[in-house]
Structure 1
């Protein structure tokens, strides 16, 4: 009888909660960049659940998630790092850790959050549960100059990878002891501007803004070294003006190929990872690509563009390597995010103050959600992937 009473009371208490019980697997966030605020949304019903304010300057915000998907770590441009409970829709911890920050990462075991900073250039490590500072790593290159840090990504083995823009280096950082990180330094090329990790955690690729090509590190190789790939893609032609930097973090690995935005080109480059990352094809596009993102089943790659073509989205069929759909969903498409199994894609429409949800099979609009200057859209499925 005692156990029945406890079960009854527990059920009564839960049924009376203002916030219904839910898992975190279909949750996500939408950054409202102008208001220092984010929406918490769910993808199954395509609805907004709550808003969270007080997140600072979100003009270049990014988000990573705890292993269980409950907590979002929001990196603000003003150097703010906020830990948000998605189930309670509140900020649990917040620190001002730098003067200018553009993103971060969370380690493989979910215990350490890392922030990559422009000013001062460097990486800071924090306890994921409390945001207690653990280590401060100045980004001082082999040239003894301090650099902006870009392309920070988590790796297998409790490691991080990062690129130093001015110094032209790639760093691998072992943080098994997060209070005493160990750094391996490699020369990469001129001005690495972003970086990515393949889904299997083997390869780190950094784009080079100062020259054609990319830098590639085989993370299984010991000792590791950076080598150049795709170094001839722009040779002999005048590059177009770059209105917005491509984002390698929103890249695509599909059909065994890497689909990468080309700096100063209206093209996506296709590289064969199994054949030494050699160029396999190019796909001509409507403008300068920013995000090149694969649907989870890898059959489609969706591309958005820099100004003046940022109201356009194109879809590439990865089997035929042809553009199969050109859409004009709204003005200022800043970001795209697929639902966990890819039946839908969410598009942030900054200049129209809304988010559009599209069926990826039929290209029909499924829902529209109001949002104030939306930019990044991040779903909790990212918690289970390297480099996200």
Structure 2
């Protein structure tokens, strides 16, 4: 009854606020926000010391949960509770308010990006040799989302080397420089951080967007490309110190403005490849000093903002028209093909050389292609992907683009991993009652040979291998969590390392050498 009364009160209050607010004047709820929230989250809700409070940034925090956070605060952050200052109706109204879209796409361009730029430790002050002893290419960066930290983990001894605070809500997976010295992080709020693993110190930070999907690092280590939902932009950063170089508006050939689903580096092509969420286009953007001349179709963005470091002719793009909007990506090992899927469950294979869709994919549900992997199966390369909706793993022939197998699982999964030196592929069951299960699949028989349950009742997710493939590391996705190390041959537990809700673990060798068992 109390919950029903609270809900009714919130609805009445919100209705009254909307009805009584005069255009140009603040509502009572807006005044509450300015009084209690704006100092940390910004007067415009775009974020400050606290995260942005916009529906695009709060998809994992529903209004009821947001009201609880307002009342109780949030552990492992500076967010206090307001239960002693605000009524239940006021807190419910604030929760609804922060889930209300802004009237227009907010501005975040070169001037705002440049103003956010922070240099923590100039590169010339940092030594060129590691301050600790370890195989630098067998390190892991473990993202602990429970209290917004990251741990540098030795992949030989499995001992943590260093733990440090990150920006709130990292998203999209960290990326490395080619030598593994630097790691780049992106937060959902658009903060990009460059961290020096050798010296265990941050180098620089910049806020490149308001709601960011992911980042990519050019193969020559010169540029970072940032994909944004808000605003509708791709942002180029100088990888040396994260100084902004260029803002590229995500606008389709018909003039439609679009969110950017994701951006990846096509290393052999010396380009970035981006998918746009609201228009049926894929873009290839060159970062070469001279525009490519091996095929036609490159165009230039001649809009130059005050503060652009590069001439307008830099970063030309090619537009590739596709049959449907793409949300997720997968590349073949040679980066000739990009495979994409939409939220509608449709899949397309795009030949980047010919700029054409060459095949459709028959994969039901919502395959999670960005966690897909490849291996050799009976003399042919296959791609395997978990599925966010269906309880199965799809295996696809990468020549015919036809299904080889659909492997039933205990539920829909999120992450899949393998390694060249192991006969097994591992996939989690991230959602539902069997979220504590981890399937181990024989890559030749295409059958599940074992189902592990590292922590019964707790979510097991995101496998990553050591550089030699000898050990597999599994995350227990819980505040009282751990990274569990398994012998990849015997499938027996070797070690358990306590951590605070660890999510992804990223091995330097596998990510920089593009292991076929690791997403790129």
SS at match of 1:192: coil
Change in 2 beyond 3 A, CA 1:150/1:333? farther
* Residues 1:45 and 2:157 are matched in the alignment: yes
Q: Which of 208, 212, 217 is the aligned partner of 2:350?
A: 217
C-alpha separation in 2, matches of 1:190 and 1:298: 36
Deviations 1:195-225 (A, max 9, x none): 122223222111221233x221223x2x321
| Superposed displacement of residue 143, structure 1 | 4.2
Deviations 1:278-322 (A, max 9, x none): 122211111112122222336221111232132111011111011
C-alpha separation in 2, matches of 1:62 and 1:134: 22
| Superposed displacement of residue 329, structure 1 | 1.2
Change in 2 beyond 3 A, CA 1:58/1:263? closer
Q: In structure 1, what is the equivalent of residue 492 of structure 2?
A: 364
SS at match of 2:235: strand
C-alpha separation in 2, matches of 1:116 and 1:280: 33
* Residues 1:252 and 2:373 are matched in the alignment: yes
SS at match of 2:512: helix
How do 1:265-344 and structure 2 match up within 5 A?
A: 265-274=390-399, 276-297=400-421, 299-308=423-432, 309-330=434-455, 331-344=458-471
TM-score by length of 1: 0.86
C-alpha separation in 1, matches of 2:460 and 2:229: 25
| Superposed displacement of residue 61, structure 1 | 4.7
Unaligned runs of 5+ in 1: 1-16, 240-244
Q: In structure 2, what is the equivalent of residue 354 of structure 1?
A: 482
SS at match of 2:370: helix
How do 1:1-388 and structure 2 match up within 5 A?
A: 19-53=131-165, 55-155=166-266, 156-177=268-289, 179=310, 180-212=314-346, 214-219=347-352, 221=353, 223-231=354-362, 233-234=363-364, 247-255=368-376, 256-262=381-387, 264-274=389-399, 276-297=400-421, 299-308=423-432, 309-330=434-455, 331-351=458-478, 352-381=480-509, 382-385=511-514, 388=520
C-alpha separation in 1, matches of 2:507 and 2:474: 13
- Number of equivalenced pairs: 357
C-alpha separation in 1, matches of 2:508 and 2:189: 24
SS at match of 1:306: coil
C-alpha separation in 2, matches of 1:385 and 1:110: 15
Unaligned runs of 5+ in 2: 1-128, 291-309
Greater relative contact order structure (CA < 8 Å, 6+ sep): 1
| Superposed displacement of residue 188, structure 1 | 2.5
C-alpha separation in 2, matches of 1:159 and 1:68: 19
C-alpha separation in 1, matches of 2:473 and 2:401: 30
C-alpha separation in 2, matches of 1:78 and 1:198: 30
Q: Is the 8 A contact 2:460 2:475 kept in 1?
A: yes
Q: Is the 8 A contact 1:296 1:340 kept in 2?
A: no
Structure number having the greater strand percentage: 1
CA RMSD of aligned residues (A): 2.2
Q: Is the 8 A contact 2:186 2:193 kept in 1?
A: yes
C-alpha separation in 1, matches of 2:246 and 2:171: 24
Over alpha carbons, which structure has the higher Rg? 2
SS at match of 1:62: coil
| Superposed displacement of residue 246, structure 1 | 5.0
C-alpha separation in 1, matches of 2:430 and 2:324: 23
